[in-house]
Structures are given as structure tokens and as C-alpha cells.
């Protein structure tokens, strides 16, 4: 027996198995991993009674354990895991064997081929993953992240990602022709990132999209879906949105696409967001934070469609039959009426008009986000300044929002010792109001 040659042969089978997986050939990969595990097991067993040949013995036992897991041979994997945990002293390898034991236990109830397929699929997904971390913007509850924060991030992230995917699929698959609704639904189904790992601190998680060739999918679709998360992350999510970046984006995407992709991001990357978002750079593995999207960037990116009072007053969808009689009378019959559950749009303004105070003239236009839901009514927000107001009537909400905005500026102007959050708000105030100090009490 020549252990070194057998080990090299096992590594060759393992390399070919990995290639087969990347090419979407799980059955071939499974057979190759079985060959690799068989050879590596023989080598590892040869070193069982040779403790003087460390660290080679430890490396081979660990390798045999993981190759057997990749081959779906869980009981064989456990044999090497338990032997290693009892006889190996290297702390790092023992930690890795403990990880292997956790995998072996979770996969132990599956048939051999399914266990192999599941482990190798997850392993490849992890290699393709983008690694994020959510952290609270302030430490009112320590470093814990709430479910509301996770929900808010995931909903907006998915909306933006899916809009990006639809735009990309439309260009590649339909050559820019008008995309069919059914195809949009199909894209939204296959663009569904999977959580490949998670941990506390504050909330770390990794995501990747499915990459396997499914029945009926073309190679173009598979390539797009496999890389959509990384492309979105690099092209959109971490884009600093300088003036030149915005110019490129508006050339690459239609006006409608830009609005669909970036409007959700303006929420999760707003100054008013209760969390900040970090990611781990694959080059140096250092944590970096994505920049906030401020009012000037929103103005350049998003299209503000004029909204009239008539638009605001008709938050329902109706099907009405209209007919005229011989005497000239018009008869209307409502066939179906449905209250709108949700609507969202932006309005811009150059001044703040509180009810009982003089207007504040701004040095630049600002975008106010308006969200209507049937449960709460209208919520108007200026995300840079972290101020909002909710009420059931639009005009009443807008007037009250102006009052809240004005009073917050007045309070900040009168506060001599500001907290970190108050100072950030005050810095925004000084950018959009010429001389806010005059509002001091």
C-alpha cells in the first residue's frame, strides 16, 4: 500500500466531483465522491495506529470524515469523527470534526444519495454566498436585532433584488422585448435566495440563490439565477451612488426599472432606518458598511410622478358600468368595488408649512415618502431627518407632518448638548435650511 499515491488519487476524484457539481451533474459527483471516500478511508485507517506521524494522521482522518459525508456515507463518516475526537489533540481539527459530527447527525436519517446531494448542494451554496450583518442603529436594546428589523430588511431587499432580476432576465432572455406577466411570475419564483448560514452578532447571515439546472430551464436562465445575488450585491446594493454611478445606472436600466430597484433600497439605507447593514468583503474578509441613501441621491435616481388631490381621494379600485338612456340621463352601476390595501409614492416640496408658524423655505427640494395602508391610513416620512406622521386623511396628515417637522427643527436648534443621533439630524437640518439657529427659543 502506498498511502501518498492513494491520497493523491482520492483528491483527484474529489476535484472531479466538485467540477461535476458545478456543471449541474449531481449523479456523477455522487459516484466520484464515493470513489474518493473509499480511497481516503483506506489511507486514514493506515494511520490510526501511528500517532508519531502527526500532523499527517490528523489531516487524513479529518479528510476521510468529510469525504464520507460528501459521499453520503454517514456511518463511515462517524467512525472517523469519533476516532479523531478521541485521539487527536489539535484544537482546530477537533473543532472541525465537531462541525462534521453536527452535519452527520442532521444528515443521518437520509438515504446515502440524498445525504450526499444535500451536503454538497449546501456546501456549494455557501461558497457562492454573500455574507451580511444587521446591527441596530442605536443601542437602546444592546446589540440585539428585532424581528421587525429583519422583516423590514428582507422585504425591501427581496423587492429590489427581484426587480433587478426581472430587468436582467428581460434583456438577456427576451432581448429587451416587453416581458410577459407569466414570465415575471416565473422569475420571481426562481429568484429566491436561500439562507446558507446564520449567527448572532448582531445578526449575521449568508444568502445565495439556487444554481441547479431545473426541468424546463434554459442555460441562460440558469446562469442568471445562479449569479443574480452576487451581481445584485456588486452592481446595486453596495454601489456608492456617486453622480457618475447614477448616470451609468440610468443608462443601463429604464426609468421604471430604476424606480422599482432603488425605491425599496431608499428605505433600508435611509438615515431613519433602525439598523445599519454590513457585509464581508470576499477579498480581505473585512466587514464594511453600506452607505446611506440621502435626499440628493433620491432626487437624481427616482422619478416623482405628480399626484393630485383627486388621486389621493380615490384609494379604491372599481368596475362601473355606465349607460345613457334615450332622454340623456346617465346611469352608473357599480359591478365591483375593492378598497386598495396599499399605495406608495413620493412628493417633493421646497418649503415646510406648519399651521401656526411661518413657513420654512428650504435651500433644496426634499422628497417626502407617502405610504397608504388600509389599516393605518397615510404615513408621511422624510427619511433623512427621521420624522414621520400618520393619520387617516392625506391633507390632515401632511399639515401635521409639517408641524412635527418644524417643532423637531426648533427643538434641535434649542438643544446645546446633542446626542449622536440628534447631531446627525442637526447636520441634515443645516444642509436644507439656510439659518436654522434663528428658531432657538
Of 127, 142, 172, which residue sits at a domain end?
A: 127
Looking at residue 317, its pLDDT comes to 54
The answer, yes or no, to whether the previous bond of 284 is cis (omega within 30 of 0) is: no
User: Considering its fold, how many domains does the chain have in total?
Assistant: 3
Grid coordinates representing 273 are 432606518
Whether 276 and 166 map to the same domain: the answer is yes
Do residues 112 and 136 share a domain? no
- Predicted confidence band of residue 366 (pLDDT cuts 50, 70, 90): very high
Shared domain for 145 and 280, answered yes or no, is: yes
Full residue range of the structural domain in which residue 182 is found: 130-301
* 121 plus 257 within the same structural domain: no
| Confidence bin at 25 (pLDDT 50/70/90) | confident
Question: pLDDT tens-digit profile of 334-347?
Answer: 665 555 567 788 88
Same domain, 123 and 134: no
Q: What is the CA radius of gyration of the chain?
A: 29
If asked whether residues 345 and 382 sit together in one domain, one would say yes
Mean pLDDT is lowest, of 189-193, 329-333, 357-361, for 329-333
Domain C-terminal end among 75, 109, 127: 127
Residue with more model confidence, 108 or 431: 431
The torsion defined by the Cα of 345, 349, 355 and 361, in degrees rounded to 10, comes to: 160
Same domain for 250 and 184, yes or no, is yes
Whether residue 97 contacts residue 81, with contact meaning beta carbons closer than 8 Å, is answered with: yes
| Mean pLDDT of the 424-437 span | 90
Using CA atoms, how far apart are residues 406 and 420, in angstroms rounded to an integer?
Answer: 20
Highest average pLDDT, of 48-52, 268-272, 319-323, 404-408, comes from: 404-408
pLDDT tens digits, 221-277 = 777 788 899 999 999 999 999 999 999 999 999 998 999 999 999 999 998 899 999
The per-residue pLDDT for 312 is 52
Is 120 in the same domain as 38? yes
Residues 119 and 47 in one domain: yes
Quote the CA–CA distance of 287 and 185 in Å, as a whole number: 35
- The answer to whether position 332 is within a domain reads no
Predicted confidence at residue 337, as pLDDT, reads 56
Q: Are residues 140 and 285 in the same domain?
A: yes
C-alpha distance from residue 364 to each of 127, 162, 256 (Å): 46, 32, 25
Boundary-marking domain end, from 105, 127, 149: 127
* Lowest mean pLDDT across 114-128, 177-191, 374-388: 177-191
Beta-carbon count within 10 A of 221 CB: 18
pTM score, whole prediction: 0.69
Amino acid at each position: 500500500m502506498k498511502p501518498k499515491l492513494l491520497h493523491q488519487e482520492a483528491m483527484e476524484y474529489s476535484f472531479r466531483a466538485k467540477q461535476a457539481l458545478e456543471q449541474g451533474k449531481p449523479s456523477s459527483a455522487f459516484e466520484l465522491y464515493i470513489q474518493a471516500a473509499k480511497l481516503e478511508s483506506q489511507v486514514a485507517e493506515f494511520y490510526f495506529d501511528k500517532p508519531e506521524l502527526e500532523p499527517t494522521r490528523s489531516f487524513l482522518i479529518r479528510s476521510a470524515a468529510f469525504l464520507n459525508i460528501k459521499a453520503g456515507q454517514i456511518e463511515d463518516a462517524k467512525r472517523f469523527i469519533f476516532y479523531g475526537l478521541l485521539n487527536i489533540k489539535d484544537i482546530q481539527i477537533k473543532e472541525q470534526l465537531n462541525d462534521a459530527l453536527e452535519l452527520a447527525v442532521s444528515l443521518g436519517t437520509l438515504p446515502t444519495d440524498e445525504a450526499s446531494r444535500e451536503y454538497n448542494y449546501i456546501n456549494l451554496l455557501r461558497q457562492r454566498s454573500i455574507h451580511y450583518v444587521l446591527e441596530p442603529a442605536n443601542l437602546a436594546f444592546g446589540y440585539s436585532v428585532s424581528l421587525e428589523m429583519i422583516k423590514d430588511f428582507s422585504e425591501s431587499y427581496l423587492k429590489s433584488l427581484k426587480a433587478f432580476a426581472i430587468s436582467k432576465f428581460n434583456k438577456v432572455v427576451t432581448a429587451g422585448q416587453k416581458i410577459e406577466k407569466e414570465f415575471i411570475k416565473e422569475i420571481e419564483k426562481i429568484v429566491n435566495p436561500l439562507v446558507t448560514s446564520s449567527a448572532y452578532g448582531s445578526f449575521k447571515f449568508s444568502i445565495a440563490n439556487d444554481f441547479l439546472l431545473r426541468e424546463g430551464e434554459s442555460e441562460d436562465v440558469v446562469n442568471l439565477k445562479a449569479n443574480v445575488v452576487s451581481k445584485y450585491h456588486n452592481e446595486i446594493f453596495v454601489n456608492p451612488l456617486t453622480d457618475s454611478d447614477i448616470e451609468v445606472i440610468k443608462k443601463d436600466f429604464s426609468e421604471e426599472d430604476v424606480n422599482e430597484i432603488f425605491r425599496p433600497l431608499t428605505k433600508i439605507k435611509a438615515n431613519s432606518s433602525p439598523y445599519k447593514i454590513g457585509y464581508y468583503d470576499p477579498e480581505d474578509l473585512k466587514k464594511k458598511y453600506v452607505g446611506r441613501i440621502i435626499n440628493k441621491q433620491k432626487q437624481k435616481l427616482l422619478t416623482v410622478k405628480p399626484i393630485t388631490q383627486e388621486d389621493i381621494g380615490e384609494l379604491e379600485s372599481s368596475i362601473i358600468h355606465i349607460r345613457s338612456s334615450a332622454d340623456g340621463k346617465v346611469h352608473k352601476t357599480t359591478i365591483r368595488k375593492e378598497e386598495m390595501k396599499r399605495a406608495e409614492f413620493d412628493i417633493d416640496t421646497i418649503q415646510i408649512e406648519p399651521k401656526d408658524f411661518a413657513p420654512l423655505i428650504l435651500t433644496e427640494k426634499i422628497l417626502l415618502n407617502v405610504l397608504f395602508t388600509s389599516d393605518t391610513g397615510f404615513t408621511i416620512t422624510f427619511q433623512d431627518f427621521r420624522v414621520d406622521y400618520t393619520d387617516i386623511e392625506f391633507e390632515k396628515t401632511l399639515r401635521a407632518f409639517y408641524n412635527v417637522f418644524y417643532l423637531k427643527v426648533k427643538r434641535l436648534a434649542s438643544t446645546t448638548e446633542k446626542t449622536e443621533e440628534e447631531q446627525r439630524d442637526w447636520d441634515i437640518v443645516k444642509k436644507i435650511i439656510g439659518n436654522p439657529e434663528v428658531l432657538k427659543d
